[in-house]
Structures are given as structure tokens and as C-alpha cells.
A and B are shown apart, each in its own frame.
Chain A
């Protein structure tokens, strides 16, 4: 019997088409996995099913009846629950209080504690969970907190549970425990949608697999005929690549301008890497592999716990200000949170890092500031309005402001974290040309991207991260989409460095 049918589903976020004409049937009492690269749309699909966001087009049909959820709460009323990557529990309350939150057994308006304890006990014996109802949730491990979330959905009689990357932050033992839970849910007749990066896990648990690529379904089929490499192959192979600027080989004997030795920081384990002048190096990896954490640790935005970073012969001091002085600049991942002052003029946004050099005795020489800022903006973006607030610009132009700010510093090393995220196609192209031009002028560029194609199109060399470590370094003919994905998913033994 079909539990849930998805028909012609479409969803866009701004200019990005996250899902396009997706149709899937999910059989009752099965484990159905969604797999795909970063940005393939698998997580979005899981969230639409659970009412986290509404689709732009298409329908959900639940047991033959069309439904439209306006919130996760409405989906839950129809028996669909989601356990997201970030747990959504109240850390100060106990396990039982969280499980029954919003649906507490009451007597005369007061919470009936005894009834709650009884119901909790019944729930755990039925589901085979081993949790103390009186434990405070904030003190539990992530794995246990996930179990609390699953219990909570069971307490609401959910019979379709979406697990979004449930094992991403679990240890091997906890992962095994979660797998048992998934199997017991299925044995109890419930349907599970598993959104996962981990192909081995998918193959071990799922009855059916849907592979997504660029927001479209590649295929849906039984899991027992798939292998890890057949799944990877299905995730690959896209329509013809966008045009990238011609690659110019970095001079092989150019000096090393950045050396990272045994760098460790939260989310980063023992990373060593060298960058040469004129070189473009891409960092690939799955979401959560530690790429942004590495970028931030190099730049001093996050404190390092071990190792060192040297630029030329200067050891970086571990703060952004010191890195900038040593000629290492970073464009952060989130423009809005870490980059811009949306209500301040464009001029001030661009001159932030260099305003002292336009000043005499602490007084900013406006004329000088204006001419240098507008000169740099001309180079990256065309003729801008200097006094408009930065918030009035499109995503692509905001990103260009950050490039202009960074380039005014004249860095020898540029670290760019997802420089083209949320940027329109035209601006993307401008940024590609800019990056290539900077490198050919001798700058070393280290950039992170979720778009494989972008990395292959721009980088001279790719390093792949998995679980905080550099697991592969690929260049020239070894730099293929397949090799990168295999290293990122960890499917091939021996790629680990």
C-alpha cells in the first residue's frame, strides 16, 4: 500500500531551484532513503513531507487523500513527524516532559504526573527504548536526544517518520543503536524516510532508494540492487557544464605563501596543507565535514587548539586582525551574519578593513576613501553607488562588496568560503573571472564550494575533507567528480590520507 505519494513537487529558494517536478511513491511499512550530493534537494524534500515548508508546486497525497501542511504541527496531526539534524528539545525539561510537551495528560487543568509516568513506561516498553523518563534532556548525548525526539513522535501516534541525517553526529556505537531503532520502527509497521549522506547506511537499512540530482529524481528503485558505486554514479553526470574561464597553470616553482601544519580546531583534526602563489585550491566535502571550520581556523576567526599557520615567514597570530596584517584574508560563508553591515553605506562596508590607511591622525580622509573604494569596486563590480545601504544590493553584488573590501587589503592569500552561494548566474560568472584573474596576478586562493562543478572548473588542485580531516588531495587527471565524491563519502578504502 502506498503511504505517501509526492506528485510534481517543486520548490525554489530565491533564485535557486531546490526541487523540480519530483514524483515519488513511498510504500507503507518500508524504509525509503533519499540520497544525493549537497544541494541535490534530499533534505528539502524530507522537510516538505513533514510540513517544515510548503511546496511551490505539486501535491502530497497521504493514503490516497490530498493534504497540504502549513506547519510541522499539522503534519504531525496526520501522523508525519521529522527528526531534524538539530534536535528541537527543551534542554531544561526531563525526557518524559519533552516527550509529552504540548500534549501532557491532565487532570483538572494540572499535569497528571502519575499518568505521564505510566504512559512513558508503556511507550518505552512498546518501542524498546532504554531511556530514563526523569533524566534532564540537556545532559543527554545527541544520540539519546534523538531517541527522545523519536519517542515524542511515537507518543503522537506518528506512523511516518522523517530522519534527516540522523547519524551525522553520532559515534559508531550510537549509529548501530539508531539502526536497530529504525529496523524496529519498520517491524512495528511504521514508515521511515531516511535522508542520509552515508551510502553504506542507506544500503544497510533502506528497502527503496531515491537518488536526487539538482532537485530532480534520477531514479527510484529497490535498495538491494544498488551498490555504493552505482549510487555515486547516479548522483553524478549533470547537464553540460557552465563555461569557466580558461585555467592557467600555476607556475610549478612559485613560492609557498601559506603553510598549515597539523592544524586542529573545533571540527578540524590535524590538517596540513601548503598553498603556492598563483594557485587556486578547492576544498570539497560534505556539509559538516569541517570545511568552514578549517577556513575559520586558518584565518583566526575560530581559535586553533593545535598546530600552526605560516604565511611566508610570518606565523599567524590567531586573530583576524593579525591574519590581515600578514596578508591572509577571508571572505566568510554567511554574508549577512559575518560579513556586512546592511544598514551602513556601501563605502563604509568596503573600507572596513583598510579605513585606517585612509586616515591621518585618526581622521578619515573621505576623498581618499571614496576614490580608493570606488576604484576597487569598479574593478569587481562596475560603477556603484557609494552611499546606498549595503542591504539594498542583491546577493551577488553584496558578495562583490566583500571581495572589494578584501582586495583593498592586497592580500597574498585569499580564503573564500562559498563565495557563490545564493548568487545569481551572471554574478557567479563575474566572481569566477575575478578569482582566476587574482590567481594569475599571483594570489593564492583557497576556496570552499558545495558545487562540485565549480571546484572542477576553477581549482588547480582539490583537497577533500571528511569528518574534520583532509582525506584526499587530487590534482590534474585524478581530479574527477567521481574521485572527489568517493573521498567525501569515504566509500573507497585507501583514499584516507
Chain B
């Protein structure tokens, strides 16, 4: 038999558990999201009001923007724990710049701060070979400290510069510019991951960094780029939220944002081990977490149970991921 006659055989018919595994990976978070959505629509009349739904979108805008970039970091095999701190610093600096110079410059400053910290993160993790978890945790203290110094620990307000609010709160076709920015970020990130060479290298770097490097991928450069994107996204989110409320506190966001974002990403099915994940599911994952919170609110349930519920959901998500890899 010559080489040309041979056919690469398909794997034998998938077993039941392999099919379940594939289904979980494909639909994943979509199913619990849909169930929660339907249940809330039925048992809580205010839930479906457009006021409530657009509120959720507005509140989630920053979180989802950060989560999109955070997913890219995770898929490339890293993790970024400094996003909350960057968010706080960028919001404060954007607002300061907006009130002291001009609103457009405020936006530029917020983004630039995020990008700069993200690049430092990338260099810390690749050049100095510091574990991403520890490196970005340390950076989160540094950045949060800088934010406290810059703001002298005070609340920064710019109520006398209402034009800055236009950045996030302008309504276009019924939803705010913040929600639009979130949508555009999510779409751009989806396309980048699935259609570009950069996206391909991100999956390769996280899936098997040795193989990627030997295959000619500049793994370190890709990792730096993912941290830069994540930092810039956190900067944008901080700027958006400070624009929405015209106030910012260095400690706002902080760890809460970091962990909410990570929860959304992981509940969406992106693996903490890298190499896998998708943007659509991250978005649905974040929205699912938001729905759970919103449901507790609307139903007047004890918010302490909300935390317990979120914790259990997170454990389930990670457990399912481990289960789907059990044959490797």
C-alpha cells in the first residue's frame, strides 16, 4: 500500500460520555443561562422590563470588556489578577485628566495607563519568568498603591464636567455607548481569536507552549501582547465606569472586579489550563453571573446566599472542565 492510498482513520463512533463531553463543551454555559433567564422571567415580573435589562447591560459593560481580554490571557496560558487594580487606577486618572484638561484626553489617559501596566505585566511574566499568578498579584498591589497615592485616598469626582459622561452614557438606538463599546469589544475579540493568525498563536501558546515555540511561534511576544490587551481593556472599563458615574475611587473595583471577571470567564468554560475557550461563552458566562445576582436582587433573597451560590457554580464549572479532560 502506498502512502497516497492510506486514509487517516476517524476515531471510532464516540461513546456516550464523549458525546456528553462534546455537548458540554459546545453549549456549556448557554443551557443554565437560558434556564435562569426563563425562570426569572416567569417568577419575577420586573425582570423582563427594558429598564432592568438595559441596567444589567450597563453594569456589565466594563466587566465583559475586561473578561473578553482576560479570556485571551487565559487561553494563551496566563492569568491576570491585576485587572481590578488597573481598573481603579485608570478610572481615577481618566477622571482627573478629564476634569483638569479635557474629556477626550481623559479617555486617552485611561487607556494609556491600562496599556502601560499591561505591558509591564507581560514583561514581568515573560522576561523575568515570574509565574503569571504571582506576578500579576504583586502588580495589583503596586498599581492599587499608586492609585491610592495619586488620589491621596480620596474619592475623585467630576460632577462639574458633565461632558465626560457622554463617553459612556450617550444613548444610541436605545442603549448606551458603554453597552455599544462592550458589544464591539466582544465582536472584535471573537473575530481576533477565531480568524486571525494572532488568535491562532494565542491558542497554540496556551495549548502547548513547547510545541508552539518549536513550531516557530514567538510565544513570549504573544504572551506580552495578551497582557497588554488585558491591561488596556481594564483601562477602558475603568474609564467607562468613571464616566458613567462621574466619580472614581482608587479602591473601587479592586479584587471584587478581578474575581467577578474570572468567575464569568471560567463559568463560561474557558480552561484555566490554557489553550481552550471562546469569547461567546465568556460573554454568556459573565451575563449568567449577572443574572444570578440580578435574580437575588429582584426576589429579595439574602445576598449572602448569592455568594454561596456563585461559589458553588464556580466549583461546578471547574469540576466539569477537569472531568472533560480526565482521559488526558
Contact = CB atoms under 8 A, between A and B. Distances in A.
B214 A301 contact: yes
Nearest to B203: A344
Interface string B178-190: 0000000000000
A320 B211 contact: no
A348 B275 CA distance: 13
Interface of A: 299, 301, 319-321, 324-325, 330, 332, 337-344, 346, 348, 351-353, 355-356, 359, 362-364, 377-385, 388, 391-394, 397, 400, 405, 409, 426, 430, 433-434
Contact of A353 (B1, B198, B216, B328): B216
Contacts of A379: 3-4
B50 interface: no
B203 A382 contact: no
Nearest to A434: B3
B129 interface: no
B207 A393 contact: no
B7 to A, nearest CB: 5
Contacts of B328: 342, 391
Contacts of B207: 341, 343-344
A383 B8 contact: yes
Contact of A430 (B3, B210, B213): B3
B328 to A, nearest CB: 7
B302 interface: no
B6 A381 contact: yes
Residue among A341, A377, A409 with the most chain B CB within 10 A?
A341
Contacts of A339: 211, 214
30 contacts: A301-B213, A321-B218, A332-B214, A338-B208, A339-B211, A340-B208, A341-B211, A343-B276, A346-B8, A352-B200, A352-B204, A352-B211, A352-B212, A352-B217, A353-B216, A355-B200, A362-B197, A364-B197, A377-B8, A379-B4, A381-B6, A382-B8, A385-B10, A388-B11, A391-B328, A393-B8, A397-B8, A426-B1, A433-B2, A433-B3
B36 interface: no
Given A320-B216, A338-B214, A385-B8, A343 B198 contact: no
A342 B204 CA distance: 11
Contact of B196 (A340, A362, A400, A433): A362
Contacts of B10: 385, 388, 392
Interface residues of B, number: 32
A20 B112 CA distance: 68
B9 interface: yes
Contacts of A388: 10-11
A324 to B, nearest CB: 4
A389 B200 CA distance: 15
Contacts of B213: 301, 320
Contacts of A400: 8
Contacts of A343: 207, 275-276
A159 B107 CA distance: 76
A340 B211 contact: yes
Given A321-B217, A364-B196, A434-B3, A337 B210 contact: yes
A316 to B, nearest CB: 13
A321 B2 CA distance: 33
A477 to B, nearest CB: 31
Contacts of A348: 200, 203-204
Given A321-B218, A381-B6, A382-B4, A338 B210 contact: yes
A411 to B, nearest CB: 11
A354 to B, nearest CB: 9
Contact of A355 (B5, B7, B197): B197
Contacts of A362: 196-198
Interface string B258-298: 00000000000000000110000000000000000000000
Given A430-B3, A434-B3, A320 B214 contact: yes
Contact of A381 (B3, B200, B276): B3
Residue among A301, A337, A363, A405 with the most chain B CB within 10 A?
A363
B216 A324 contact: yes
Nearest to B7: A382
A341 B208 CA distance: 6
A409 B217 CA distance: 13
A232 B7 CA distance: 41
Contacts of A341: 203-204, 207-208, 211, 275
B7 A352 contact: no
Contacts of B216: 320-321, 324-325, 352-353, 409
A157 B179 CA distance: 73
Contacts of B11: 388, 392
Contact of B6 (A325, A340, A409, A430): A430
Nearest to A381: B8
Contact of A363 (B2, B196, B212, B275): B196
Contacts of B1: 426
Interface string B215-244: 111100000000000000000000000000
Residue among A337, A351, A382, A393 with the most chain B CB within 10 A?
A382
A51 B228 CA distance: 51
B206 to A, nearest CB: 9
B326 interface: no
B7 A383 contact: yes
B49 interface: no
Contacts of A355: 197, 200
B76 to A, nearest CB: 13
A382 B6 contact: yes
Given A341-B204, A377-B8, A379-B4, 10 more contacts: A332-B211, A332-B214, A341-B203, A346-B8, A355-B197, A363-B195, A364-B197, A393-B8, A405-B215, A433-B2
A397 B198 CA distance: 27
Contacts of B196: 359, 362-364
A122 to B, nearest CB: 44
Nearest to A348: B200
Contacts of B3: 379-382, 430, 433-434
B125 to A, nearest CB: 19
Contacts of B8: 346, 377, 381-385, 393, 397, 400
Given A344-B203, A383-B8, A364 B195 contact: yes
A496 B11 CA distance: 49
Please name the 8 residue pairs, one residue from A and one from B, whose CB atoms are nearest each other, closest first: A382-B6, A392-B11, A384-B8, A352-B215, A324-B216, A341-B207, A430-B3, A321-B216
A340 B209 CA distance: 10
Contacts of A356: 197
A319 B1 CA distance: 39
Contacts of B217: 321, 352
Nearest to B4: A382
Contacts of A430: 3, 6
Nearest to B25: A343
Contacts of B200: 348, 351-352, 355, 364
A352 B218 CA distance: 12
Nearest to A433: B3
